[in-house]
Amino acid sequence: MREGDVAMTLDLVGARVGDIPEARQFRLMFAMYRIHAFEKLGRDQDAMTAAMAISADEEVGPVLVQALEANELAPRTTATLRASSSS
């Protein structure tokens, strides 16, 4: 994924939850792409902030780490989330 494509991803899904209106059924997908885009841009703190913001969602939060792993997205953020949940 090229840097321009990553930046475009953030334009499409928004840099924060609520920046772009999202249908309920797409919250997880938007969150995964947002987190992955931040990580690809080297903005790991923003990726973690985005992950923590969506983790509070009672539908999306419990499956976020598994979904990121299954789709091979945001490996550094996923590893950090996995480590913090096991401690």
Q: Is the pLDDT of residue 27 over 90?
A: yes
- Residue 39 corresponds to which tokens in the numbers above? 């990580």
Question: What residues does each domain of the chain span?
Answer: 3-86
pTM of this prediction? 0.90
Measured distance CA(8)–CA(87) in Å, rounded: 35
Measured distance CA(51)–CA(49) in Å, rounded: 5
DSSP assignment of 26-78 equals GHHHHHHHHHHHHHHTT-HHHHHHHHHHHHTSTTTGGGHHHHHHHTT--HHHH
60-76 pLDDT tens trace:
999 999 999 999 999 99
